[in-house]
Chain A
């Protein structure tokens, strides 16, 4: 098995771009897949509040926060993947708050920059015009389901997975994970594995993210 992404050696000094590069280079395939999935899930959830928050934006923003010291890295306690996972949660929370307030999240990666001539160049956001819904997004919204309709569709995805169907049904009744595990006599591992099957089924059904809910 490949060595896991290394932690930075120095606890007190800032991570230099070179050290961060080394940490990125030493990410295993499995760790990279996990980071991608976490960014995708955050993007799915944010998409309902904020337009233009793709998984790549979230990963880039996470990197900027590491380099700009917005998050302190304590390598003895948190490895690189753990650090990024925590930052992704934090980014989602920040952008969600701004989205809820009607503001546009300021993505560090999209702050004004200059080219080699010192001229200001358009940011990704500017190039994309703005974060207002495109006609396509407006169409998607007009096609939005009610929450009940969406849950109905999701439930149908588990017609051949009795455990997933049972867990989903319990969630809809308001039960929480620990309660469900106790009632169904499941280990945490059993429960989480079933939930991730549900996650995969949902992702497969809506690869671009779940439909909007009215």
Chain B
């Protein structure tokens, strides 16, 4: 027989496919019996498989949890950064709100529900400023302030 005739018409991929097909079609019980007959510690294998799968579930949950924590941390830091930019005194905060209402249409629309900004309590002024900050009204000013601090 020539070398060419001896050459296999099956390649390695096909061999591995043939082997895998027989395993895929096998019942778990047959595979268990065969593994035991081959001297494998099937109880240990089963335990390892379950651990691997459970680890994956835990890892998936942790990743989601960590992502949520990271997002919360980023948001908290950002809010804190904005609050820090609020003036220290009640008078200065009231002036900030009045100036903003006078120069910014968006602020004017938001504060239009108040009849007289000058009559607002200090707490309401503070609260209004924080709301406006969360809306991003003062972002430009905060960035300029940050740039100036660098």
Count CB-based A-B contacts (< 8 Å): 160
In the complex, residue of chain B having the shortest beta-carbon distance to the beta carbon of A27: B50
Q: Smallest Cβ distance from A126 to chain B, in angstroms?
A: 15
**A interface: dominant SS:** helix
Residue pair B19, A67 in contact (C-beta under 8 Å): no
Contact with B along A162-204 (1 / 0, CB 8 A): 0000000001111001000000000010011101111110101
How long is the Cα–Cα vector from A114 to B48 in the complex, in angstroms?
25
Q: Does B145 contact A (CB under 8 A)?
A: no
Smallest CB separation, B52 vs chain A (Å): 5
Nearest-Cβ distance from residue B50 to partner chain A, whole angstroms: 6
Q: Is the CB of B66 within 8 A of A192?
A: no
Is B135 part of the contact surface with A, judged by Cβ < 8 Å? Answer: no
Those of B22-42 within 8 Å (CB) of chain A: 22-32, 34-35, 38, 40, 42
Tell me whether A59 and B16 are in contact (CB under 8 A). no
Q: Is the CB of B63 within 8 A of A113?
A: yes
Which one of B53-61, B81-89, B94-102, B104-112 contacts A? Answer: B53-61
Please state if A199 and B52 are interface contacts (CB–CB under 8 Å): no
Could you tell me the distance in whole angstroms from the C-beta of A115 to the nearest C-beta in chain B? 7
A37/B50 in contact, CB under 8 A = no
The answer to whether B7 and A148 have CB atoms under 8 Å apart is yes
Partner of B31, one of A30, A64, A151, A204: A30
| Residue from B9, B62, B73 in contact with A172 in the complex, judged by beta carbons closer than 8 Å | B9
Task: Give the chain A neighbours of B35 by CB distance below 8 A.
Answer: 33, 37
Is B103 an interface residue when CB atoms closer than 8 A count as contact?
no
19 contacts between A and B (CB under 8 A): A24-B53, A24-B54, A31-B28, A32-B45, A32-B50, A33-B31, A33-B46, A60-B59, A63-B56, A64-B60, A109-B56, A114-B63, A171-B14, A172-B8, A177-B18, A195-B21, A196-B19, A199-B23, A204-B38
The 4 closest A-B pairs by CB, nearest first: A174-B9, A63-B56, A30-B28, A32-B46
